[in-house]
Amino acid sequence: MRGIFLLAGLFLAVPAFAQSNAALQERLKAIGSDPVALRAAVDGGKKVTFFCANCHGEDGISKTPDVPNLAGQNPAYLLEQIRKFGSGERKDQFMQGLIKVLKDEERLQVAHYYASMPVPPSKSNPALAAQGKVLFEKLCVRCHGDKARGDELYPRLAGQKVPYLQVTIQRYRDGTGIRNNQLMAIATSTLKNDDITAIANYLTQLP
């Protein structure tokens, strides 16, 4: 009997948890539509992200080639990824530990701060970028957009560093378990390493 009550409690908790996520996203939008509240959130986010700067940079431009830029991402996308790390849906022991200490309001501030930061394009091999453009338009543009800037559901890829893009795309293609997404697995399944390098060169030079 006790087990039945425990299961019932778990099932009842699921809608409440989902509602909490939806409420945070609504709060995020409300802040974004209020210039004064947005400015305060961005200022707050700059302070909160001091512990992120060692890897992702103070302005959201990563300091190491295999760490993603957070600058310029859609705030709703960022907030969802923060949630996933906090819940363990995305696996990274270091990130999970850091995210768990953030309060809801701080998560909102972090998302708005990084979203407000500009992303400078990086240099690339022009010949490879031209090849990558063709592949990107064939396989990726439907979700990530024609300028690779993403949206609420899909990440911005424009301006990311080549090594990070290469490793991430390979993980989706190879089914390593570090990155799991059925659409990405299908889209990348036929790519050779040279194709991935070409796509990365195209994306990194986009503003």
**DSSP-assigned letters across all residues of 127-163:** HHHHHHHHHHHHHTHHHH-TTS---SSS---TT--HH
User: Which residue, among 86, 113, 112, has the nearest Cα to 99 in the 3D structure?
Assistant: 86
Q: Which pLDDT value is given to residue 16?
A: 45
> From 1.10.760.10, 3.20.20.70, 1.25.40.10, 3.40.50.300, which CATH number describes the 12-116 domain?
1.10.760.10
Q: Which pLDDT value is given to residue 144?
A: 97
**b/e per residue 142-178 (b: at least 16 CB within 10 A):** eebeeebbbeeebbbbbbbbbebbbbbbebbbeeeee
pLDDT along the chain (207 residues), means of 10: 39 48 96 98 97 93 93 98 91 86 96 97 97 98 97 97 96 85 93 98 98
Return the SS3 of 52: coil
Return the SS3 of 181: coil
Instruction: Name the residue ranges covered by the structural domains of the chain.
Output: 12-116, 126-204
Distance CA 175, CA 135 (A): 20
Kind and range of the H or E element at 202?
helix 193-204
Q: Which pLDDT value is given to residue 92?
A: 82
Task: Report the CATH fold assignment for 126-204.
Answer: Cytochrome Bc1 Complex; Chain D, domain 2 (1.10.760)
Q: Which pLDDT value is given to residue 19?
A: 59
Domain 126-204 in the same topology as domain 12-116: yes
pTM (global) more than 0.75? yes
| End-to-end C-alpha distance for the chain, whole angstroms | 60
Return the SS3 of 205: coil
Angle, vertex CA 206, rays to CA 191 and CA 164, nearest 5: 50
DSSP 179: S
